Amino acid sequence: MIWGAERWILSAYPGRDSICVETGKNIWAMLCEQKEQLVGKHVFARYGDTFPLLMKFIDARDDLSIQVHPSDALAQKYGLPFGKTEMWYVLPSSDDARLYCGLKQQLTPDEYKQMVADKTIVNALAEYPVRDGDCFFIPAGRIHAICSGSQICEIQQTSDTTYRIYDYDRVDKDGNRRELHTDKAAESIDYTVLPDYRTHYTPKKNEPVNLVTCPYFTTNILHIDAPVTRDYSSLDSFVTLICMEGEGVLTEYCNGQATDYPFRQGELLLLPASDNAPVQLSGKFRALEIYIEQD
């Protein structure tokens, strides 16, 4: 990318499908074959043959553009299937890493457009220095940008729709400035000002700590250094584990047989909804646990 690199670690986005190591098939093909057995009955009823989430690692070596994403309703107004709500979990980053999240002053749509024209829109944004373990929830409509030096794990709706607000007058390889979407962004922005946009939580060993619960995903953080049982039998959803640090083993029990799935930093496990039963997690690791709760 013009600003750094992305690695899509779980994706069924057309042309960017993840391949399952165990089956050798891409996620979209598995979803078409397994349907609700893969994602869960309520998830399949809502999304059909669209895998609902996209998960990435982002390495920002330069500032990303100031941007906003539309809601589902607004995206559908413009012929797109989904909007984009997301979250960021910060990985080890440079000492001066920072990001923008949300407005710090009240603006009207006209005032917003004037600040874009004046190239002063960053002055209206809440800026945060970040470090390993920080978390930010970015519902559709919240202005945001990842800045240089930040490394992020991003969980989001399956959508690549971004309305670019300001891009620091950068040019692409052909010398052209990237397109801005000032009017669509003005329509998308939630102009509510909050006192703090950071997610505050207290880490705990060997039990889940909730980071985000929203209609699109639930995300917990797990810090494991002793064997722990996680019971997913009440969930009607797939479960993913993304290892942020260390390494571990997920042990699944079926008909009296134990199967081990080792994993390490940077890897992701996808547990189909049909397999949702108690599993044991062991090793020493930190991981994000993601699933979709029933309304």
Which strands, in side-by-side order, build the sheet including 135-138? 4-10, 53-60, 151-157, 86-91, 135-138
Rounded CA-CA distance 125/9 in Å is 30
Eight-state DSSP code of residue 132: T
Catalytic residue selected from 164, 170, 230, 264: 164
- Provide, for the chain, the percentages of residues in helix, strand and coil under a 3-state DSSP scheme, each rounded to the nearest 5: 15, 40, 40
Identify whether 164 is a catalytic site residue: yes
Task: Region of 247 please: left (phi>0), alpha (psi -120 to 50) or beta.
Answer: beta
Instruction: Give the largest Cα separation in the chain, rounded.
Output: 67
The stretches of the chain forming alpha helices (DSSP H) are: 27-34, 36-39, 41-47, 72-77, 109-118, 182-188
Rounded CA-CA distance 244/285 in Å is 7
Other residues' Cβ atoms within 10 Å of the Cβ of residue 262: 13
Q: What positions carry a catalytic annotation? A: 164
